[in-house]
A and B are shown apart, each in its own frame.
Chain A
Amino acid sequence: MSSQITPRGSDPQVFGREEGPLRAFCEVLGAKRVGSYWSLTFVAPAIAERARPGQFVTLAVDVGGATLRRPFSIASVSQQGPWAGTIEIVFSGVGQGTHWLAQRGKHDVLDLVGPLGRGFPLPNRQVPALLVGGGYGAAPMLYLARTLGARGHRVDVVLGARTAEQIYNTIEAKRAAASATFTTDDGSLGTQGIVTDVLDGVAEHGRSEVVYGCGPMPMLAGVARWAADRGLPSQVAVEEAMACGTGVCMTCVVPVRRKGQRRNVRACVEGPVLNGARVDWDAVRSPAMAQHELDEETG
């Protein structure tokens, strides 16, 4: 049996093994607002070292009555600098846990588990990639854009949201990609509409051969179907309610077709990144999907 290790030898704040997820008590290095989102950067050298785009961390939140961790995609990683390694999360305030997190500041210490899940597989050839991010899903997409860019890929980015202030970090998007296209529901930035409205034009211009997505489930369904229709492979990071994040509770399942059979796979360990063509989108019943259907019924 592999023995228990604490990465960085004497650090009593980190628990886990030589690979896989760690539990770590991490100090906040910086907290800031970005548009309508919050960003928290943690001193987390051991997690930063093993993190890949598409993976996530879970944070314990200290709010009355809450017993479960909150999952967030890793938005950026830095392995340099005086703190040896940091990770960033970007989130919107939607409920009591995220509002509590929004009030954290420099030097607070939080209880993190990660990196969790399967990240985005990187192409082994230098093919042009199309990256689609919705809402806060833009943040991990830009992490992927930087990773692919560093490996010499052409990257085209499409970011969509309801309004301009919910488009995460337009400056960074333009810096990280050969082209950055924005869509908003209300037309306050870029094209009025949804991301799938502009994909044909962007993909043609960038000669995209692979598609990546992260964002609300209805958007991912649209992107995956669009890619499948054009014979392009897609990899999307899904979001389901997660109780444990580590693979033991079976709450986070997504229906996936494999070898002609439908299986419920755990988004937290077999995902969150899944092959978009394999997900049985019609059978996905996440709250976001249900809300989307309700909007369509009533709207």
Chain B
Amino acid sequence: MAISRPSPPPARTAAAPSGAATTPAEPAADLRVDLGGVTLANPIVTASGTFGSGREINQFFDVNRLGAVVVKSITRHPRPGLPTPRMVETSGGMLNAIGLQNGGIDAWLAEDLPWLRQHGVPAIVSIAGNTVEDYQVLAQRLRGVEGILAVEANISCPNVEDRGTVFACRTEATREAIRVVTANLSVPVFAKLTPDVTDITAIAASAREAGATGVSLINTLLGMAIDAETGRPRLGGVTGGLSGPAIKPVAVRAIHQVHQALPDIPIIGMGGVSTVTDVVELIRAGATAVAVGTATFGNPMASLEVLEALPDWLAARGIDRVADLRGTVQLPG
């Protein structure tokens, strides 16, 4: 019987951090990227909600090797989340309905931020709310706090003041939520957008008008699964967010459209990334940095493995700087 190895062991994970055995003839590719005024050591980051605040995955490797850790979205108050079942595996991905369970901003500042700082992890803080005031209060709480590289405003959340319509589905709601965040912070702000809209470039433009440094693309797509036998929804929350390899083409499309429309703004790209070629695909579409999300569930070392594969991919093609790859899609005509 053939040896089955769902994913190959990473080549150099076990090597000592410095003094690697090989002496490269040429200098290694420059992996640094500029994320709207802050420099990441490399373009590989984590997708919010798939990496906690870094502690758990740090059991497998030093998470400070990543370009940044984007932490699980934090809300103004602790949230218990939705009833289980909270996930359903689907072909090429999964649906989740977590309901933003988290301990709230106070607990995060007291417990998680000190850990991130102590371990030298570049942290991008994701915040989420259901009112404009929620975003404002969260931004104010983060103002001047040390150890925060950037803030990602997850505005793919229902706006209770607008009959539950997701902020990032409307240009005006996007502007209002992002304005109160950017007005209160001096670090770069990224607006995290849902792909479930007719024209994502219009939403990205309104985030930009409200002072966002850039955008994070894409959040999950809204989906649903029903048990054929019982007729019951398979998620406690009835509908949920689709993620994983199945959504990568949607991510590539959204990143491409926004980069074509707004070539000057940095983009954190995500959606179904699990290999180094996925990373390259999103960068060619226009991503500045690329987040690994659901792939971490299937393999806790997925983000490190794509990071370690990136220099070889670039070197084999004579590319010196990963930043040069950005937006290099070769369109016909």
Chain A interfacial positions (CB closer than 8 Å to B):
1, 3-4, 6, 12-13, 15-17, 20-21, 23, 25, 60-62, 64-69, 104-105, 107-111, 113, 240-241, 243-254, 262-264, 269, 283-287, 290-291, 294
Contact = CB atoms under 8 A, between A and B. Distances in A.
User: Which 6 A-B pairs have CB atoms at the shortest separation, nearest pair first?
Assistant: A65-B91, A251-B87, A60-B6, A244-B297, A247-B56, A248-B52
B244 A67 contact: yes
Contacts of A262: 80
Contacts of B295: 67
Contact of A108 (B1, B236, B245, B297): B1
Interface string B59-73: 111101000000010
A66 B59 contact: no
Interface string B5-46: 111011001100100000000000000000000000000000
B301 A23 contact: yes
Given A69-B297, A110-B4, A23 B86 contact: no
B297 A243 contact: yes
B331 interface: no
16 contacts: A1-B119, A4-B13, A6-B14, A17-B60, A66-B89, A67-B92, A68-B94, A104-B4, A108-B2, A248-B52, A249-B87, A253-B84, A264-B80, A269-B56, A285-B236, A291-B230
Contacts of A252: 84, 86
B288 interface: no
Given A241-B86, A251-B98, A62 B297 contact: no
A62 B56 contact: no
A177 to B, nearest CB: 33
| Central interface residue in B5, B57, B296, B297, by most chain A CB within 10 Å | B297
Given A60-B299, A64-B91, A249-B297, 13 more contacts: A4-B61, A12-B14, A25-B9, A65-B92, A67-B92, A67-B274, A67-B297, A241-B88, A243-B94, A251-B98, A254-B84, A263-B80, A286-B85
| Central interface residue in A3, A68, A109, by most chain B CB within 10 Å | A68
Chain A interface, DSSP helix/strand/loop, else mixed? loop
Nearest to B298: A67
A16 B94 contact: no
B96 A15 contact: no
Interface in B294-310: 294-301
B223 interface: no
Contacts of B98: 249-251
Contacts of B88: 241
Contacts of A264: 80-81, 101
A17 B6 contact: no
Given A23-B60, A68-B298, A285-B84, A249 B96 contact: yes
A246 B57 contact: yes
B135 interface: no
A16 B14 CA distance: 9
A13 B274 CA distance: 20
Contact of A109 (B3, B17, B87): B3
B147 interface: no
B185 to A, nearest CB: 26
B117 interface: no
A250 B240 CA distance: 14
B297 A13 contact: no
A17 B230 contact: no
Interface in B189-247: 230, 232, 234, 236, 244-245
